[in-house]
Homo-oligomer: A and B are copies of this chain.
Amino acid sequence: MQRTRFSAMRCSLARSLDRIGDWWTPLILRDLFLGVTRFDELVEDLGLSRNLLARRLRSLVARGLVRKVPYQRRPLRHAYLLSAAGEALLPPLLALTAWGDRHAAPPGGPPLRFRHLGCGRDFVPVVVCSCCGEALEAAAVEARPGPGGAAARGTRVVARRLATKAR
């Protein structure tokens, strides 16, 4: 009767959520990106229990999203830094943040702004098509079966549904 894990599902969103879908995990990753990288800083910033933070960090390190790196010796102390895979999560999380700015904004406007060092300006993240560069909208996206598809838990009905337009 353990909580259902998503890792076995034949769906990349489920497999992403298996890595970062736990309560607090995306906020921990955000803090690591923002430079809040030490255990006690994370506890103070987020206000979560030390207990849970330790467990989440262990899991993130084990899955290769975070590295535990010493920032001083004598006494030995560690900071938690994003790995390459962890940094690759930033753009999706930024896109989610932008959704929050638009559809769940806190009083007073966006709490954080982001500047792109490439062009030097404040920006909004936009998700575009890799082929034509156009901004994506739900109505213009069609799902089709991929090579790794299967009718496992999480795609039982979806697999049937997609098979019809397999082409």
Report the minimum CB–CB distance from A38 to chain B (whole Å): 9
CB–CB B15/A100 < 8 A: yes
A54 within 8 A of B: no
A61 within 8 A of B: no
Residues of B close to A132: CB separation below 8 A: 116, 118-119, 121, 123
Q: Tell me the number of copies of this protein.
A: 2
Q: Chain A interface mostly helix, strand, loop or mixed?
A: mixed
Over the window 33-49 of chain A, the binary record of Cβ atoms lying under 8 Å from chain B Cβ atoms (1 yes, 0 no) is 11110000100111110
8 further interface pairs, Cβ-Cβ under 8 Å (given A91-B127, A116-B131, A127-B127): A12-B110, A33-B138, A47-B153, A112-B162, A114-B144, A119-B131, A123-B130, A126-B128
29 contacts between A and B (CB under 8 A): A4-B48, A13-B100, A16-B99, A16-B104, A19-B104, A31-B157, A36-B157, A45-B156, A45-B158, A47-B153, A87-B137, A90-B138, A91-B135, A91-B136, A92-B96, A92-B98, A92-B127, A108-B148, A108-B150, A112-B149, A113-B145, A116-B131, A116-B132, A118-B132, A119-B134, A121-B129, A124-B130, A126-B127, A128-B128
